[in-house]
Amino acid sequence: MTTERRLTSFSHGAGCGCKLGPDDLRTVLGGVTLPRASADLLVAADTGDDAAVYRLPSGEGLIATLDFFTPIVDDPYDWGRIAATNALSDVYAMGGRPLLALNIVNWPVDDLPLEMLARVLQGGADVAAGEGVAVAGGHSITDPEPKYGMVAIGLVPSDEVVRNSTAPAGAALYLTKPLGLGIVSTAIKRGVAEEDLVDAAVDLMTTTNRAAGEAMRYAGAEAATDVTGFGLLGHLHRMLLASGTAAELEADAIPVLDPRILDLARSDVVPGGTKRNLASVRPHTDFADLPGPERLILADAQTSGGLLIAAKHRPSIEAAFREHDVAFARIGEVVAGEPGRISVAGSLTP
């Protein structure tokens, strides 16, 4: 009798943890010369932001982004939902609303049934429909390793684009989803994740950042990015570097999905992408006495993570979060200092 292979067994990495590491990406992009951009290109690749934004003749900003990755869970429908939620997140992180999506599909047609692919696509379509986004086709190729994601297109008023490069000293830093999703995905791949922990992770990864994006726009937040493959520290470092500022984090204020995340980190159930993230941010981060497993959690490669928001007027942003029913944690502050520098005080555990 043959045993059906688990979907995650086809994946060399899980979710956003399989992306190129920050240092490798810098090396590649350092060898690429791009043509001079139009003045209508409001947000490009130079600041490492979540999406590109181009000003249309109407004055609105067109947001364009794409994201795809290898299986992060074994249920194909859930994988589709997670991938779509993750792709749309970049539009919300720019303060926009998504309108249109295209599927990206790589599929091992000789090893996995096409009916399973249909379930993946259905998961993506259902998330898109729930967000008012039309899925208008896409592109597929055969590939020994399955991959799925979306191109996402959205709109935002040109004068309301929320960038990652405008985080001023004195702004409070907020995180809208807990950390640990990359570690859970590795536990799933290794077959050591408890069912209730998987369910909690899937619920979190299929919760869109629409409400968080609306709250930050309503409150006039100064800057934002979503926390995905480069982890909290990696995305914060890029924000600070682009903004010319530094940050101080309070580790005991940073939410973690479940206490078992720390146990998994101590047992080295950690994505390779998370370890690459930590190596990349270590020269720019003062961890004080924070133990190694907790450092890994702060660098954990998230998939469909929350928004990291910098806002100067704390009462306004916190009231907006509550009005929009957004879970949030104030995790630190942007400060004047060496651009990109991060200081961490305290511990994730009491």
**What residues act catalytically?**
16
Spatial distance between the Cα atoms of 131 and 126, rounded to a whole number of angstroms: 9
Token pair for residue 308?
Answer: 């990291």
Residues 6 or more apart whose CB falls under 8 angstroms from that of 9 comprise 189
Spatial distance between the Cα atoms of 152 and 64, rounded to a whole number of angstroms: 6
Residues 6 or more apart whose CB falls under 8 angstroms from that of 157 comprise 59, 60, 61
Spatial distance between the Cα atoms of 49 and 241, rounded to a whole number of angstroms: 11
Q: What length is written for the chain?
A: 350
Report phi then psi at 53, rounded to 5: -130, 125
- Give the distance from CA 184 to its chain's centroid: 15
Spatial distance between the Cα atoms of 252 and 219, rounded to a whole number of angstroms: 26
Spatial distance between the Cα atoms of 97 and 161, rounded to a whole number of angstroms: 11
Spatial distance between the Cα atoms of 319 and 308, rounded to a whole number of angstroms: 17
Q: What is the largest CA-CA distance in the chain?
A: 64
